[in-house]
Amino acid sequence: MFILDNWSQTTTGKPFLSANAETQAALKVRLQNLLRKNTYDVKTGILTVADIRAEAISAASQHYTGLFTNNAALERYRDAYAIPKNTVKDPERMRKLNTFFFWASWACVTERPNQVISYTNNWPSEELVGNKPSTDLIIWTGFSVIVLLAGIGLLIWYHAAHQEGETDLKTLPKHDPCWDWP
């Protein structure tokens, strides 16, 4: 949204959400082209980002730094997310957390080399950046759910088929064994 608002302000003088539908559609396509293009050079290990994306990264880092430290303007978000004030006290740890946020979002949107899906198979689905679930994602999700349900069914069947009968109340411990911990 940072990038879309910047571009919309530059071209129309209005925030993105106040622009007309045609302008919004054009800016979304422009955003998708910017974010989905893989600009990581495997040979050099260098990732190149456009200036506007660098500004967005910086703004997001400032936001998260304020959120996880003590920016009073973000108190309502801390309450909503149940994040205590000054959760991250060390500036180096905060830098690493912001780096993680960037790389996680980069992997979710950037296309794999010579493919039209992101490193996370276009997950999470997000229309704004062109992430639509791939066929593989849908198939493997469905398969995983079926296998999970079958496994649960097998466990229930096994438990029902191998019950030894009721526990004899005379063999129950006289006190709770959990209280015997050292």
| End-to-end Cα, the chain, rounded Å | 55
CA torsion, ordered 159, 162, 167, 172, to nearest 10 deg? -70
User: Over the stretch 120-148, which tens digit does the pLDDT of each residue have?
Assistant: 989 898 999 999 998 988 999 999 999 99
Structure confidence at residue 120 (pLDDT): 92
Domains in the chain: boundaries = 1-36, 37-161
DSSP string, 68-90: HTT-GGGHHHHHHHT--TTS---
For 131, the 3-state DSSP assignment is: strand
- Identify the pLDDT of residue 166: 63
Amino acid occupying residue 37: K
DSSP 126: B
Question: Is the predicted pLDDT of residue 17 greater than 80, yes or no?
Answer: yes
pTM score: 0.77
Cβ 33 vs Cβ 107: under 8 Å: no
CA distances from residue 149 to 43, 57, 152, 158 in whole angstroms, order as listed: 44, 41, 5, 14
**What confidence tens digit (pLDDT) does each residue in 65-93 have?**
999 999 999 999 999 999 999 999 999 99
Give the integer Cα–Cα distance in Å for 82 and 131: 29
